[in-house]
Amino acid sequence: MARYFDVHPVNPQRRSIDQAVALIKSDGLIAYPTDSCYALGCQLGNKAGLDRIRQIRHLDDRHHFTLMCRDFAQLGQFVHVDNAVFRAIKAATPGSYTFILPATTEVPRRLMHAKKKTVGARIPDHPVALALLEQLGEPLLSSTLLLPDQEEPLTHGWEIKERLDHVVDAVLDAGDCGTVPTTVVDFSQGEPEVVRRGAGDPSRFE
């Protein structure tokens, strides 16, 4: 049965964040709020957690997982970003964008796109997500909480708890954070290509 944390959306309680991070570090899988939808998250090295996300969402090896990063210093450890790309991404973050970029050797191969050796990366603009990342001290391996039988992501904590009670270890409920996922911009070839139009304004990359 999943732990349930009712967290303040602006000033998340430190005790709840600490307990959630302890679960993540113990190879737990959590559902947590971001600035665009709830997401599933676990530690980068948690192979079982990755497999659980694949199973919950029915994902194949062509899916781009996302590294949810605290800041640019952290993001730069895991993806290759040249100066021009850096400036473009910097102007749009933190925010509701996911960027597809070439992965560095810090990223486990199983997290990369099978053929392209790329990974998604983003810096969220949500106090709860940022508090988790601050305490964890490393990126969260994440994927939008969109179930295979649903057209839109789950956005109510109680519903997530009800639906996923036996397949996740914790749910952090900070209220509704919308059903529109991030805008995805592929920078893997150097030039921006908008591959999914979402919550972030895509016009700056078109």
Write out the chain's pLDDT in tens, 206 residues: 999 999 999 999 999 999 999 999 999 999 999 999 999 999 999 999 999 999 999 998 778 889 999 999 999 999 999 998 999 999 999 999 999 999 999 998 888 887 889 999 999 999 999 999 999 999 999 999 999 988 889 889 999 999 999 999 999 999 999 999 999 999 999 899 999 999 999 999 99
Q: What is the pLDDT of residue 35?
A: 95
Q: What is the pLDDT of residue 184?
A: 96
In whole angstroms, how far apart are CA 121 and each of 97, 103, 150?
9, 9, 24
| Number of domain units in the chain | 1
Q: What is the pTM of this model?
A: 0.94
Within 8 A by CB and 6+ apart from 151, the residues are none
Residue 45 backbone zone (phi > 0: left; psi -120 to 50: alpha; other: beta): alpha
Axis-axis angle for helices 127-136, 14-25 (nearest 10): 50
CATH code at 21? 3.90.870.10
Print the domain residue range for 53: 3-205
Q: What is the pLDDT of residue 169?
A: 98
Q: What is the pLDDT of residue 60?
A: 84
